[in-house]
Structure 1
Amino acid sequence: MLVEDIMKTEVITLNPTATIEEALLLLQKNKIRHLPIVDDEKQVIGIVSDRDVRDASPSTFLKDADSSELNNEIQTIMSHPVITIHPMDFVEEIAAIFYDKEIACLPVVSNNRLVGIITEKDMLYTLIQLTGTHVQSSLIEVKVPHRPGILPEVAAIFGKRKTNIVSVLIYPYQSDPDYKILVFRIQTLNPMPVIQDLREAGYQLLWPNNIAEPRR
């Protein structure tokens, strides 16, 4: 999935000479948390968050607070330089930027011009879509040897039952490099037939656990 598939293209921005008060009003009116600061050519030169604006605003608990600080230009509190991404970047890769840099918003830039924005909330929603948790489904975890061809082998068992696979995740098995865990979300309310097929094929299920169902 590409950044252009999930980015918001209607981005509210400010120029660097706008006041902190203008930023505060925009954030409150539009219920957003970040404002890219752009020049006349829509090049990103900074970014401010709702926290930056709150920290620069007079305290609401002080009667005689000096509100003149709100007249300061937004460029006096903006963060810069700004980490940006491209519309053709992969979503999975920019997730690492959010984590490593501990940031909550990334402007999207093409040809040095702002074309969109992605937030932590956008990333979380995308993760929900990629993992299939937004679809009514059943989850199955299978421990398998880490070798070529193992995924289609296991998936073939679902195919025999004509079971629709919503998503597949693969991750390491603890610290053992010889094994992987395949996590399938399947679109069925009764996963027991395919679970039994997996057990009969000799695969170890971590979820549901590998205890055989009692015979009735």
Structure 2
Amino acid sequence: MFVKEIMKKKVISLKKHNTIADALSLLHKHHIRHIPIVDDDQHLIGIVSDRDIRDASPSILDSEINQALLDHTIDQIMSSPVVTTHPDELFEEVANIFYEKEFACVPVVHQKKLIGMVTEKDLLYAFIQLTGTQGPSTRLEIRVPDRVGILSDVSTFFSKRNIKIVSVYTYPTPQQSGFKILVFRIQTMNPMNVIHDIKQSKEFEVVTPMREDNE
């Protein structure tokens, strides 16, 4: 899955000559947390967050100072340069940026122009799509040896029962080296027969009970 498949294409932006008051108004009106700052050619030159706005906003107890500070231009508080991504970047690579940098959003740039934004919510939705949790399915966790060809071997159990695999992913078992967990979502609401088949194998172990997600 690529960034261009999950990014928001309609991006609300400001120019550097806009004021802090302008940014504050957009944050409230559109219920957003970040505003990219662009030049006349849509080149990204900075970004401001709701935290930047709050830090720059003075106390409401002094109305004269309050208005004077809100009239300052946005370039005085924007962050620059900005970490960006490309529309053809892979979803998991951008997820690493969010994790390592502790970002809440990343602008998407193509040919130096701002064309989109990716937020934490977009990443979460992409994860839901990749794991197949958005539709009715049964989830099975199977402990398997960490060897070449293991996914093909386990998938055979489902194909023999004519069961469609909705999604599959894996995670390690730190407490048991040489093994890993395969997490399958399968399109059946009665997996007892395939569970029985897997349990007959001396090499694989079903480690979690099935769960029907439409309950």
Confirm or deny a common fold (TM above 0.5).
Answer: yes
What CA deviation, in whole Å up to 9, does each residue of 1:103-143 have, x standing for no partner? 10100001111111100110011111111111111111111
What CA deviation, in whole Å up to 9, does each residue of 1:142-200 have, x standing for no partner? 11111111101101101111111111011111154411110001122212111111101
In the alignment, which residue of structure 1 is the partner of 2:209?
208
1:66 alignment partner, SS class? helix
In the alignment, which residue of structure 1 is the partner of 2:111?
111
In the alignment, which residue of structure 2 is the partner of 1:72?
72
Amino acid in the other structure paired with 2:78? M
Amino acid in the other structure paired with 1:149? G
Gaps of 5+ in 1: 210-216
CA distance in 1, matches of 2:50, 2:64: 19
Amino acid in the other structure paired with 1:167? S
In the alignment, which residue of structure 2 is the partner of 1:9?
9
In the alignment, which residue of structure 2 is the partner of 1:154?
154
Gaps of 5+ in 2: 211-215
**How many residue pairs end up in the alignment?**
208
TM-score (norm 1): 0.92
In the alignment, which residue of structure 1 is the partner of 2:84?
84
CA distance in 1, matches of 2:207, 2:128: 22
What CA deviation, in whole Å up to 9, does each residue of 1:9-59 have, x standing for no partner? 111100111000000111111111110001111111110111211221123
TM-score (norm 2): 0.92
Q: Percent identity?
A: 52
In the alignment, which residue of structure 1 is the partner of 2:127?
127
Amino acid in the other structure paired with 2:93? E
Quote the RMSD (CA, aligned, Å). 1.4
Runs of 4+ in 1 over 3 A off after TM superposition: none
2:167 alignment partner, SS class? strand
CA contact (8 A) 1:139 1:186 kept: yes
